[in-house]
């Protein structure tokens, strides 16, 4: 009964007239020329909640009218946290690489832009805000990419029961699944949020009594998200309780669990534990694997684990976890380990954020995993986090920024604020090549903090890729 009421409440709020503004609720402090600017610039850091000022007027930028075949979209925070956060659109073609095409602002600032994902038809992008809650702002921002060279802000919204937007997966009907890592106030439990094709939030799962008891009984802070549409299952991985990274804190609360879901009913089937995992940040199904196996990253351990969702443990519970590969001492407690897997299921890549390293594994034989990088190599990256293979599988896009909470929090990872464009060799190993420097490009916003990316490949008009 409560779930039905909460869903109805969500629908009524999202249908309200303020959506005509593009945001679900107007800013608590309006923009007043001559007043807002000094208020935003001079306000001291507050404990947890921040002053909900609107963004400063956006500085000009130089656009380009070229039409590259490969386009990179980067969901980026303004370095000064005063100007609007934005989507930066760049050429990734060889001859015009790094040419800025367009900048699309959102109506808010200080969101600490997090993950970015495309709809299946490539007409919409959604980007989440990690710290949006602290300014009582919307947490999910949608962009119209019908014209891929001139993205436009579409709208934003927020959930009722949950906040801290993380991973995003497109649904076949045009909507999205999104992990929200925290509750409405940043505690546990979070939720698995679902939108319809118009990007209205329609559910915050679980909604059944058994599932609700599951997430209340053990920390539920979903970050990683992967969907196996062919076998009707979902995996989410629990990372940290968001509010515990903010001051005052008794220590970051890290999880050791994943949840296995039934896709048709959206119900939790089981909880899978990685002992002493210390934050299971990411999980992804291995493409084409006969058992629908998935890889998960255990941050405290610095290890990659393999999840077999249809196997049963000794107690008859569905889902078995086994260690796949230890990434070595530099990977232990490296704050964040995020991953991507090649479309053929052969290669997997992992960013070790505070180790300043990107690892590459050949996982074509899960009983004989081979490491393709030198763990002692000094790579040209500081603070790598979000990693994404380009659709043609020839390059790896890595953004060098994870999280900086400043004076209000305890996680402030070093970064050089670059988007790396790394060549993938035939054997799956990496060759560092080019990068885009967001500090230089957006110096008039205090620099840019690019957290995530989406790549469009329009080389074949009959078969475009959006990833």
Q: Which two tokens stand for residue 467?
A: 């990833």
Q: Say if 451 falls within a structural domain.
A: yes
Q: Say if 213 falls within a structural domain.
A: yes
d(CA 111, CA 77): 7
Q: Which two tokens stand for residue 303?
A: 């290890």
Q: Say if 65 falls within a structural domain.
A: no
Q: Which residues of the chain have pLDDT under 50?
A: 1-21, 29, 32, 34-40, 42-47
In this prediction the pTM is: 0.91
Q: Say if 235 falls within a structural domain.
A: yes
d(CA 415, CA 402): 8
d(CA 367, CA 267): 32
Predicted pLDDT of residue 53: 85
Predicted pLDDT of residue 8: 41
Domain tally for the chain?
A: 1
Domain that holds residue 311: 2-38+75-466
> Where residue 330 sits, what CATH number does that domain have?
2.130.10.10
Predicted pLDDT of residue 50: 73
Q: Say if 106 falls within a structural domain.
A: yes
* Residue 217: burial class (beta carbons within 10 Å; 0-12, 13-18, 19+): exposed
Contact criterion met (CB below 8 Å) for 299 and 235: no
161, 170, 172: which is closest to 133 by C-alpha? 161
Q: Say if 258 falls within a structural domain.
A: yes
């Amino acid at each position: 009964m409560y779930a039905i009421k909460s869903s109805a409440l969500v629908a009524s709020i999202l249908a309200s007239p303020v959506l005509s503004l593009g945001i679900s609720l107007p800013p608590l402090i309006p923009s007043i020329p001559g007043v807002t600017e000094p208020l935003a610039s001079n306000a001291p850091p507050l404990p947890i909640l921040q002053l909900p000022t609107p963004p400063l007027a956006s500085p000009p930028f130089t656009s380009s009218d070229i039409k590259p075949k490969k386009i990179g979209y980067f969901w980026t925070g303004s370095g000064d946290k005063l100007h609007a956060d934005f989507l930066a659109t760049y050429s990734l073609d060889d001859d015009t690489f790094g040419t800025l095409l367009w900048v699309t602002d959102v109506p808010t600032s200080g969101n600490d832009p997090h993950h970015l994902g495309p709809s299946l038809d490539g007409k919409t992008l959604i980007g989440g805000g990690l710290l949006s809650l602290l300014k009582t702002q919307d947490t999910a921002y949608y962009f119209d990419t019908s014209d891929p060279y001139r993205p436009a802000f579409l709208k934003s919204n927020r959930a009722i029961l949950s906040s801290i937007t993380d991973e995003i997966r497109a649904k076949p009907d045009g909507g999205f699944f999104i992990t929200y890592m925290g509750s409405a106030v940043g505690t546990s439990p979070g939720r698995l949020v679902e939108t319809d094709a118009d990007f209205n939030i329609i559910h915050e799962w679980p909604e059944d009594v058994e599932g609700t008891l599951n997430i209340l009984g053990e920390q539920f802070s979903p970050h990683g998200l992967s969907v196996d549409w062919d076998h009707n299952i979902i995996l989410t991985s629990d990372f940290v309780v968001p509010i515990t990274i903010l001051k005052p804190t008794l220590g970051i609360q890290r999880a050791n669990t994943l949840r296995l879901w039934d896709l048709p009913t959206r119900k939790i089937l089981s909880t899978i534990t990685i002992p002493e995992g210390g934050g299971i940040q990411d999980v992804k199904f291995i493409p084409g694997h006969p058992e629908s196996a998935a890889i998960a990253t255990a941050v405290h351990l610095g290890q990659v684990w393999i999840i077999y969702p249809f196997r049963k443990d000794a107690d008859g519970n569905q889902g078995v976890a086994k260690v796949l590969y230890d990434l070595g001492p530099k990977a232990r407690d490296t704050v964040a380990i995020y991953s991507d897997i090649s479309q053929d299921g052969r290669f997997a890549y992992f960013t070790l954020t505070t180790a300043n390293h990107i690892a590459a594994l050949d996982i074509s034989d899960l009983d004989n995993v081979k490491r393709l990088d030198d763990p002692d190599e000094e790579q040209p990256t500081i603070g790598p986090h979000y990693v994404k293979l380009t659709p043609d599988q020839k390059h790896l896009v890595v953004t060098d920024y994870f999280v900086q909470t400043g004076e209000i929090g305890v996680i402030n990872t070093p970064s050089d604020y670059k988007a790396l464009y790394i060549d993938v060799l035939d054997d799956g190993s990496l060759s560092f090549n080019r990068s885009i420097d967001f500090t230089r490009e957006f110096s008039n916003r205090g620099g840019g903090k690019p957290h995530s990316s989406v790549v469009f490949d329009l080389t074949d008009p009959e078969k475009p890729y959006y990833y």
